[in-house]
């Protein structure tokens, strides 16, 4: 049987995310134009519970994630923003001391997605009208030392969005009717974690002791 250790901790970090192109339909003789999204930095805050079995671990998390992008339309920048609560369930293995890799699903609960300049008309209901509940696949690599870990993670949703027609305020942004192209939402994040509680007998205050007595689990 594997010996088991239980860990509770907190985490925080930064992210960038990939969304779809916007294609402006030809308008008053002007040709159609494709606008690609520009990445902005978002952030995440969360907590995790981890069960360790020697080299293996299971790590459920609960995270708040803020996501940002923008489009440089012809007259004015339009900001894209949303947020979500996510529940990843990760399965990992330690491959080299102190490095581990992991993979697992995430269950996502999105807030409303907002794109500046989109209006409610007969052509658009004010979207982007995206699914509020999605699932995604996470995989990443984690380096751990003492009670700290550095985590690089890539996430991609399980299915593509549907293409959507948006009606944008032309006088302000220089774009009229436009199609939000179908895409798979992808997120790249870098976070730092700290184990607040462990069942291996070490204490949080041990990180301030000398290496001989630090109680480092790794």
DSSP labels, 152-201: EEEEEESSPPPPEEEEB-HHHHS--EEEE-----EEEEEEEEEEEEESSS
The rounded distance, in Å, linking the Cα atoms of 103 and 151 is 12
The rounded distance, in Å, linking the Cα atoms of 164 and 182 is 8
Cis amide leading into 48 (omega within 30) = no
Please give the mean pLDDT across all residues of the chain.
92
What one-character DSSP code corresponds to residue 28? T
pLDDT at 93: 97
Cα–Cα nearest to 82, from 107, 111, 62: 111
Asked if 146 and 196 count as a contact pair (C-beta separation under 8 A), the reply is no
Asked if 166 and 127 count as a contact pair (C-beta separation under 8 A), the reply is yes
pLDDT at 214: 52
pLDDT at 216: 53
The rounded distance, in Å, linking the Cα atoms of 153 and 143 is 12
What is the tens place of the pLDDT at every residue in 134-192?
A: 999 999 999 998 899 999 999 999 999 999 999 999 999 999 999 999 999 999 999 99
Residue that is written with structure tokens 């999204």 in the block? 37
pLDDT at 209: 67
What is the tens place of the pLDDT at every residue in 30-88?
A: 788 999 999 999 999 999 999 999 899 999 999 999 999 999 999 999 999 999 999 99
What is the tens place of the pLDDT at every residue in 74-86?
A: 999 999 999 999 9
Pairing of strands 56-72, 42-53: antiparallel
pLDDT at 97: 86
pLDDT at 213: 47
pLDDT at 30: 77
Mean pLDDT of 111-139: 92
Cα–Cα nearest to 126, from 114, 139, 108, 141: 114
């Amino acid at each position: 049987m594997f010996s088991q250790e239980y860990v509770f901790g907190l985490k925080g970090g930064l992210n960038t995310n990939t969304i779809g192109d916007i294609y402006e339909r030809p308008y008053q003789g002007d040709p159609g134009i494709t606008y690609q999204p520009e990445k902005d930095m978002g952030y995440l805050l969360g907590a995790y519970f981890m069960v360790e079995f020697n080299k293996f671990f299971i790590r459920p998390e609960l995270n708040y994630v803020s996501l940002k992008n923008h489009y440089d339309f012809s007259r004015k920048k339009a900001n894209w923003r949303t947020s979500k609560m996510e529940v990843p369930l990760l399965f990992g293995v330690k491959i080299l001391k102190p490095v581990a890799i992991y993979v697992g699903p995430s269950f996502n609960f999105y807030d409303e997605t907002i794109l500046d300049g989109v209006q409610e008309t007969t052509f658009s209901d004010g979207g982007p009208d995206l699914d509020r509940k999605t699932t995604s696949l996470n995989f990443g690599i984690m380096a751990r030392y003492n009670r700290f870990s550095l985590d690089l993670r890539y996430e991609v949703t399980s299915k593509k969005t549907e293409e959507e027609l948006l009606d944008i305020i032309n006088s302000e942004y220089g774009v009229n009717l436009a199609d939000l192209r179908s895409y798979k939402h992808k997120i790249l994040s870098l976070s730092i974690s700290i184990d607040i509680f462990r069942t291996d007998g070490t204490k949080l205050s041990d990180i301030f002791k000398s290496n001989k007595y630090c109680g480092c689990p790794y």
